[in-house]
Amino acid sequence: MNRQAFTFLTLFSLVLMLTVYYVTLPVENTSDLNPNTLIASAENTGVSYDELLKSVTEKREVLSEQYNSILASSTASESEKHEALTMLNELETLRVSETALESMLGEKGYEGCFVEISEEMIHITCQKKYKNAQDAAKILAEVQKTMDQEVSVEVSFE
């Protein structure tokens, strides 16, 4: 068999296998979802509001102590001190933003929602009484309206 026929058959079989693979994939209805948005509408995290708050507070206190020790250090360079001060300001900004989102959700009727903002996502954990897809979608819509930019949001229930 010549080289051209061999190349043709190889590529044809590859296209055939990929076609079969994509045809057999289950169809997902994603027409109404934003690709930058995630909803976990029926997950049960099993963690209470108080435990979540304690965990995040402890993590942030440790980071804050580290940054404060860098600022107080006489051996740290000016760039390290500047970076530590910037990170302390970011921690405070995150705390204020989380509190504002929690208050906004409380005003909209979703009391007791815990909000944690990470680098690439906003995690919202709500009480069991809001455990359905409609509530998750409403929470997601409210958060998207509040934020100035497109962000990924994950909504889960305790």
Q: Is pLDDT above 60 for 112?
A: yes
pTM, to two decimals: 0.63
Closest CA to 126 of 154, 145, 96, 152: 154
Closest CA to 123 of 150, 101, 92, 106: 101
Cβ-Cβ contacts under 8 Å for 34 (sequence gap 6 or more): 144, 150
DSSP string for 31-99: TTS-TT-----S-B----HHHHHHHHHHHHHHHHHHHHHHHH-SSS-HHHHHHHHHHHHHHHHHHHHHH
Residue 53's pLDDT is 79
Q: Could you tell me the pLDDT band of residue 120, with boundaries at 50, 70 and 90?
A: confident
Q: Could you tell me the pLDDT band of residue 27, with boundaries at 50, 70 and 90?
A: low
Residue 10's pLDDT is 92
- Higher-confidence residue: 112 or 77? 77
Q: Is pLDDT above 50 for 29?
A: no
How far is C-alpha 134 from the geometric centre of its chain's CA atoms?
Answer: 19
Write the Ramachandran bin of 112: left for phi over 0, alpha for psi from -120 to 50, otherwise beta: left
Give pLDDT tens digits for 51-95. Answer: 877 888 888 888 889 888 888 888 888 888 889 899 999 989 888
* b/e burial code for range 51-90 (CB count within 10 A of at least 16 → b): ebeeebeeeeeeeeeebeebeeeeeeeeeeeeebeeebee
Q: Which CATH superfamily is domain 3-157 in?
A: Stage III sporulation protein AH-like (1.10.287.4300)
Q: How do the domains of the chain map onto residue ranges?
A: 3-157
Six-digit token string for 109: 């009727």
